[in-house]
Amino acid sequence: MRQKVERFIPLMYNGLMSSNKFTPLVIGVAGGSGSGKTTVANIVLDRVGRHRIAYLPHDAYYRDLTSLPLNQRIQINFDHPDSLESDLLVEHIQRLKAWETIQLPIYDFTHHRRTDKSILVKPQRVILVEGILIFAEKQLRELFDVKILLILMQIFVLFAACNAISQNAGVQLKM
């Protein structure tokens, strides 16, 4: 009986199989700047094991702006959905769900361009996607089996920032 239960439990998380393999569970973690998306993703990756999760940060999918001069690149609104190549992220999630490897782009935030290098990401039973705008695009949003939205009141972010600045400056914060 124990063997039957152990074989059944993995099927419970999404109940789907493809080519005698489980369809990966796709988890999206979104939230505003400073809401803790990357922190939550890193906690999950560390506790479950980075080798067991295909991790796709949306920040890796900023559009390659090498065709623009640097002074124009720094003027881009990187908080707008058009600044991200979400269609490539959609393709990568679909390929990972089909048990294919992908090449995760590496973005150079200093020069606002995509590098020639990439990271090989192998398919896993869990795909974790993290980013500010991952729920903004319908085609992307529909790929998530689990959607986590981190909401942090901005006053707490402001307070934390003021507190950190005051500690670094050696000043006691009065509120």
Q: Could you tell me the mean pLDDT of each successive run of 10 residues in the chain, 175 residues long? A: 40 44 90 86 92 96 88 83 92 97 93 91 96 93 93 64 68 57
Q: Tell me, what's the pLDDT at 5?
A: 39
Which among 160, 164, 144 is positioned nearest to 152, based on CA atoms?
A: 160
Domains of the chain: 2-169 (3.40.50.300)
pTM: 0.75
Q: Tell me, what's the pLDDT at 173?
A: 54
Residue count of the chain, please give it.
175
Q: What is the DSSP letter of 20?
A: T
Q: Which amino acid is at 75?
A: Q
Q: Tell me, what's the pLDDT at 111?
A: 83
CA dihedral 143, 148, 151, 152 (to 10 degrees): -120
Q: Which amino acid is at 72?
A: Q
Q: What is the DSSP letter of 140?
A: H
Q: Tell me, what's the pLDDT at 117?
A: 95
Q: Tell me, what's the pLDDT at 4?
A: 42
Task: Give whole-number Cα distances, 82 to 9, 49, 94, 154, in Å.
Answer: 40, 33, 21, 24
Task: Give whole-number Cα distances, 70 to 13, 64, 80, 152, in Å.
Answer: 46, 12, 19, 33
